[in-house]
Amino acid sequence: MTRLVELEATGPRKLEPSDIDDEKGDLAVCQCGLSDSFPFCDGSHRRTRDEDDEMTYVYENGRRREVERVVTADDTDEKS
């Protein structure tokens, strides 16, 4: 599966000891790109559980779409 996500950060976010979850005693970093608390996991990855390995998905405005291909501004196919 391929997933397109839109991120606006332009630099790193330093993690601090205060970022550790007091109850769990750990810190979970989002790897799916869908967290509203990015860079921290907020459980949004659950939305990806039924993604098909052969599909490409775009998540926008709380909705998921399947797309056949992504075309860049220079008209290059990223996946077909």
The binding site for ligand FES (CB under 6 A) comprises 30-32, 34-35, 41-45
Nearer of residues 2 and 44 to ligand FES, judged by Cβ:
44
Beta-carbon contacts of 64 under 8 Å, excluding residues fewer than 6 positions away, are 47, 57, 58
- Please give the Cα distance from 13 to 15 (Å, whole number): 6
Nearer of residues 46 and 71 to ligand FES, judged by Cβ:
46
CB of residue 27 vs ligand FES: minimum separation in angstroms?
12
CB of residue 47 vs ligand FES: minimum separation in angstroms?
9
**β-pair type (2-4, 56-60):** parallel
